[in-house]
A and B are shown apart, each in its own frame.
Chain A
Amino acid sequence: MLIPCPHCGTRPVEEFTFLGDATVIRPTSLEPSSMDDWMDYVYLRDNPRGNYAEYVQHSGGCRAWLVVTRNTGTHEVHSAVAAKAMKAKP
């Protein structure tokens, strides 16, 4: 599998480290009532067949964290965007 790193160009998957679901959002509340949100954030993950956005670090290259969207059924990689840039967008 090849991943188009926005900084380094296209590189083979061996240079990357996968973390998981990039759509989860870290809760901001520290109130006990928010515990369910925290549990979901830390533990609850979907396992879709189809498009999936994941945090991936280019650990064997520029070390940037990316959000890579790929199809889990076909292994087709649709996009790879720096996590920093992704987050900066509203």
Chain B
Amino acid sequence: MLRTSALQSVAIQGRFGADKGQPGLMLSVVHPLAIAMVIARKGKSKVLKDALATLKSVNVLWAGPDQYYVQSTVKSETALYIELKTKLANIASVTDQSHGRVTIRISGPKARAVLAKGTPIDLYTEEFPVGKSALTQMAHVGVHLTRTGNDEFTLSVFRGFSESFWEWLTSQSAEFGYQVG
């Protein structure tokens, strides 16, 4: 069944903010996305890590001690959930979070400058390399932050906060000019 993004009515495509030539950054909503929270059962940290490494067509992101977000853009949320439930039986507890979190991609030369207005995390490449995830707070909202490229990050927030968070993110991006794709 076709899913409706929580940001459907606010994340309008186009060019916004200051006009200083090329936009300083690009913002887009990653939707639909299948997300499962996977938490190791007692004593299964290592077994879980190994099992996650064998999964195909998914991204595995650190999301706390012995916890991971397993994401897929090609599998349906139900398919992903059932697959993980089956493969990780007695290894991990699995919950479907596909609809509970809204994921925003931010990229471009000013991406780090905008994020620095929110997170106390040092995003310097040596401190926060590509592939690293962190849990933090930005604008009073809990954020799961992942570096997906040199100048590219994804931010995932609780669905209920997503509109408010989007407002903050775009207002902080405006001085550099941004493109919503």
Contacts and interface: CB of A to CB of B under 8 A. Distances in A.
A61 B142 CA distance: 7
A45 interface: no
Given A62-B64, A64-B65, A8 B135 contact: yes
Contacts of B134: 8-9, 61
Interface residues of A, number: 13
Nearest to B127: A9
Contacts, number: 32
B63 to A, nearest CB: 8
B65 A15 contact: no
Query: What class of interface size applies to chain B in its complex with A?
Result: under 10
B64 A15 contact: no
Interface in B102-120: 120
Contact of A60 (B64, B65, B142): B142
Given A14-B137, A15-B137, A62-B135, 10 more contacts: A7-B64, A7-B65, A8-B134, A9-B121, A11-B120, A11-B136, A60-B135, A61-B136, A62-B65, A82-B65
